[in-house]
Amino acid sequence: MIKRSSLPQTYVHSLKDVLKNRISRSLALGLISSLLTATSGWSAERIQFFYGPFEPTIWVEDLDRFAEDGEITDRFRFYAKRLSEEQLDSLQALLNRRFDINSVMISQFTYSPVGERLLDRIGQVVQTDNFLNGFHAIRAAVILAAADDEGCTVINVIRHFPLKTIQLNLPLALQILDENQQIFQQRDAVVAQIRQQAEEAAANNAMPLPNRADPSQSGPYSWQRETWTFQTPNRPDRSNADLYRPNFNSAQPTSILVIIISHGIASDRQTFSYLAAHLASHGYAIVVLEHIGTSAEKFTRFLRGLEGAPDPRELISRPLDITAALDELENRAQADPTLQALNLAAVGVLGQSLGGYTVLAAGGATLNRDKLADRCGATLEERPTLNLSLLIQCRLLELPSDTSLAVQDSRIKAVIAINPLTSHVFGQEGLGQLQPPVMLIAGVNDYFAPALPEQIESFGWLKAEEKYLVVMENGTHFSFLGGENRGALPVPDGLIGPDPKLAQPALRSLSLSFFNRYLLNQTQDEAYLNQAYLDLFDPQPFRFSIISDWPISGLR
C-alpha cells in the first residue's frame, strides 16, 4: 500500500485541471458526478463505466480508504498514477467535502419540481446497474447520507447508493464535459474581448469626472425607513415593503424619484439594505420589496418541511408585485401629504438573480413560451448544458396555457438587472421588446445564472437605445449580496467567492450614476459609466469592464 499525506485544504479547482487524458477524465467524471448526483446507499460496491472495449471499475472500498487517509490500494493505483499529486490532493479533498445540509432539506428539495427535474437529468448520467435512470437511487443516497452522523460528504453519498453498482453513462458524461469546457473557454475569450473593447472605448472617449463627491460615497441626506404592506391581486396574503425616505436639509423638493429593489430567491428586504440606504442618502425614495413566495422566510419553512416549494406562478406574481407596490404608494399619497412629492410616473428598478428577471419583465421584456417549450423538452443528450437557471426558467411552462403573461408596468423608465435569468424565458425576441435604458451586470464565476448565456449573449439582443453591460471578473452569483450573503440557502463558501463587501462600492457607484443619468437626466454622470472611472477601483479581487455597444464576435 502507498500512504499519502493527511487531507489537504484545497479541493477541485476546475474540471480541466483533473482531466488530462481520456482514462483520467473517466475517473474524475465518475467522482465528480457523484458530487453532483449524490450517489450512495446501503451496499454500493463499485463505480463502473464503459470505455471503448473496456469496462473499468472503481471499487468503493478503495475509494473509501483513499478518502480517509490517502491510501492507494493496488486496484486504485491504475487510476491514481494517471493523476498528478496536486490532482490527487484535490480529489481526496473533494471526496471529504462536507455540505451543511440535513435530510429534511435534501428531501424537500429533491421532491420539489425543480429538484426532480435536476435529478432526472443527472440520472441520465449516473444510472443503476441495468442502465436505467438513477433518479430514485440518487435521491435515496443523498437523503441517507445527510441523515448519517458523518453527514453529506461525497464519499458518504457514494456509500449509500442503494445498489451494488453505480453505472456511469460515460459517453454522455464526456459529451457534457466537452460541451461545457467549450462554453467556459468561449466565455473566457469573450470576457477578454469585452475587456479590450472597454479599454479602447475609454481611451478614445475620455470624459472628465464631475467636480463633486464620488458616487460610491454616501450622499448628504439622512433617511428614515418605514415598513408597510401591499396587496398583489393574485396573492392570497399581503406583502411587506420597506420605504427609505430621505430627510432633506431644507424644503422638500416638489418631485422625489422612486427606485424599487427586487431581491432574488431565498433573500429578503435586508439583502440590499446597504444599497437602499446609499441611494436614499442621495435623495431617492427607495422601495425594497419582499416577494413572499420566494423570500428567505418562505425557503426556511420549505427546507424545514413546514410548507411546499415555491409555486411557478411566482414568475408572474413577482413583476406584478412591483405594480402593486406602486399602486399602493399612489393610494397612500392621496391621504398622506408627505408622500405626494413621490414621482411615481418615472420609476427606476433594480433586481438581482430572479429579481433581475423580475425587473426586466416588469420593464417590458416579454415572456417566451415557445422558446421555453423547445428548450425544456430537450433531453440532456440533446442539450448537454449545466445551466442551472434553466430549472427555474422552465417552470413557466407549468402554468396553464391561458395564463396572462402581461406583466409590464409603463411607469418603469430605467432598469438594472444583476445576474438575471434571461436566455429562454425571454429569448432574443422577448428581450428585444425592452425599451427603457438598461444595465445588465454579470459575474464571470456565476454558476447559477452563467454569464455567457444569461447576460453577455443576451446583451446583444437588447434594442434599447441606451444600454450597458458590466462584467465582473471573479464575481459570483452572490458577490453583491448584503446581509448574510447567502439568504436561506446552504451555499458553500467556495460558491460565495471573495468577500461581497469588496464589490459593494462599485455597485453603489454604478447604480447611482445610472439612475442619475436616466431618471434625473444628469448627462455628466456618463463619466462614471465609463471604463476609465471603473479602473479607479482596486482591481483585486474583482475587476470590472463596462461596454455600451455590441461588436462582440465569437458567440455561437
Comparison of pLDDT for 248 and 53, the residue scoring more: 248
Could you identify the residue written with the cell 446597504? 274
Q: Is the pLDDT of residue 49 over 90?
A: no
Listed by start position, the domains of the chain span: 15-168, 190-547
Q: What is the mean pLDDT of residues 15-31?
A: 40
pLDDT at site 8: 35
Q: Is the pLDDT of residue 168 over 80?
A: yes
pLDDT at site 55: 78
d(CA 387, CA 243): 35
- Which range, 120-134, 362-376, 505-519, 538-552, is most confident? 505-519
Share of the chain above pLDDT 70, in %: 90
Q: What is the mean pLDDT of residues 346-362?
A: 98
Share of the chain above pLDDT 90, in %: 62
Q: Is the pLDDT of residue 6 over 60?
A: no
pLDDT at site 380: 75
Lowest-pLDDT range of 339-348, 404-413, 493-502? 493-502
pLDDT at site 549: 87
DSSP assigned state of 2: B
Q: Quick check: helix, strand or coil at residue 9?
A: coil
Comparison of pLDDT for 521 and 484, the residue scoring more: 521
pLDDT at site 23: 43
d(CA 88, CA 182): 24
| Closest CA relative to residue 386, chosen from 449, 461, 317 | 449
pLDDT at site 42: 54
Q: How many CA atoms lie within 13 A of 319 on its CB side?
A: 25
Q: Is the pLDDT of residue 281 over 90?
A: yes
The sign of the torsion formed by the CA atoms of 16, 20, 25, 27 equals: negative
Whether 12 contacts 89, CB under 8 Å: no
Comparison of pLDDT for 510 and 369, the residue scoring more: 510
d(CA 6, CA 96): 12
Whether 505 contacts 376, CB under 8 Å: no
Bridge partner residues of 99 (DSSP): 152
Q: What is the mean pLDDT of residues 159-186?
A: 85
pLDDT at site 427: 94
Q: Please, is 182 exposed, middle or buried when counting C-beta atoms within 10 Å of its C-beta (0-12, 13-18, 19+)?
A: exposed
Residue 277 CB neighbours (<10 A): 18
pLDDT at site 173: 84
CA torsion, ordered 503, 504, 509, 512, to nearest 10 deg:
140
CA torsion, ordered 271, 516, 278, 262, to nearest 10 deg:
-10
Comparison of pLDDT for 257 and 16, the residue scoring more: 257
Q: What is the mean pLDDT of residues 33-47?
A: 56
Q: Is the pLDDT of residue 5 over 50?
A: no
Q: What is the mean pLDDT of residues 168-188?
A: 83
CA angle 349, 512, 453 (to 5 degrees): 55
Q: Is the pLDDT of residue 446 over 60?
A: yes
pLDDT at site 536: 87
Residues 235-268 pLDDT 10s? 999 999 999 999 987 777 889 999 999 999 999 9
CA torsion, ordered 78, 80, 84, 85, to nearest 10 deg:
-140
pLDDT at site 178: 79
pLDDT at site 305: 86
Kindly list the distances between the CA atom of residue 140 and the CA atoms of 110, 111, 157, 309, in Å, as whole numbers in the listed order: 10, 11, 9, 19
First to last CA, the chain: 49
pLDDT at site 459: 96
Lowest-pLDDT range of 33-42, 82-91, 465-474, 488-497? 33-42
- Which range, 37-41, 249-253, 334-338, is most confident? 334-338
| Closest CA relative to residue 555, chosen from 219, 294, 191, 295 | 191
d(CA 22, CA 434): 46
Characterize 141-178 residue by residue with b for buried, 16 or more Cβ atoms within 10 angstroms of its Cβ, and e for exposed: bbbbbbebeeebbbbbbbbbbbbebbbbbbebbbebbe
Q: Is the pLDDT of residue 302 over 60?
A: yes
pLDDT at site 473: 95
Q: Is the pLDDT of residue 495 over 90?
A: no
**Angle of helix 314-335 relative to helix 354-363, nearest 10 degrees?**
60
Residues 362-404 pLDDT 10s? 999 999 888 888 888 877 777 777 788 999 999 999 999 999 9
Q: Is the pLDDT of residue 35 over 60?
A: no
Instruction: Enter the C-alpha cell of residue 516.
Output: 442619475
What pTM value is reported for the model? 0.86
pLDDT at site 329: 96
What architecture is domain 190-547? 3-Layer(aba) Sandwich (3.40)
